């Protein structure tokens, strides 16, 4: 797999579109940080770490609106393995007027757009989610 972050966010989006209750993905510290950020911002439910033999997995509960549609309607990967994109703190803008989330990998960890701007930290622009 060339892009583990892209794989994680597409798994979450596709599982929501298929009306699954939860989704699992192979474990890494970066994926755990992203999943915890999405959980804190209300895009997914609880995040837990499971192990099966020597393999570790992330198990994430998905959230749905009252009408049954998934909370996550789409995602867009910005920084890819073939082309890394970085943003300064002063260039970070709100995504979809605050109704979406831009995710950044900063020196202080994975942060949303508002938190990175408030902390005056720039970093790798990972993806947008709405």
Q: 103-116: b or e for each residue (b if 16 or more CB lie within 10 Å)?
A: bbbbeeebbbbebb
For the stretch 68-123, pLDDT in tens is: 999 999 999 999 999 999 999 999 998 887 789 999 999 999 999 999 999 999 99
pLDDT attached to residue 95: 84
Write out the DSSP string of 57-110.
EEEEEE-B-TTS-BS---EEE-SBTTB--EE-GGG---SGGGTSEEEEEETTEE
* pLDDT of 34 strictly over 90: yes
């Amino acid at each position: 797999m060339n892009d583990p972050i892209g794989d994680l966010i597409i798994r979450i989006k596709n599982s929501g579109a298929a009306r699954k209750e939860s989704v699992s993905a192979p474990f890494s510290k970066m994926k755990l940080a992203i999943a915890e950020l999405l959980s804190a911002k209300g895009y997914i439910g609880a995040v837990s770490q499971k192990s099966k033999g020597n393999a570790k997995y992330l198990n994430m509960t998905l959230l749905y609106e009252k009408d049954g549609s998934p909370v996550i309607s789409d995602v867009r990967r910005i920084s890819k393995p073939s082309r890394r994109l970085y943003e300064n703190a002063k260039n970070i803008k709100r995504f979809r007027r605050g109704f979406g989330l831009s995710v950044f990998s900063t020196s202080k960890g994975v942060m949303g757009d508002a938190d990175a701007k408030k902390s005056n930290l720039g970093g790798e622009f990972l993806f947008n989610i709405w």
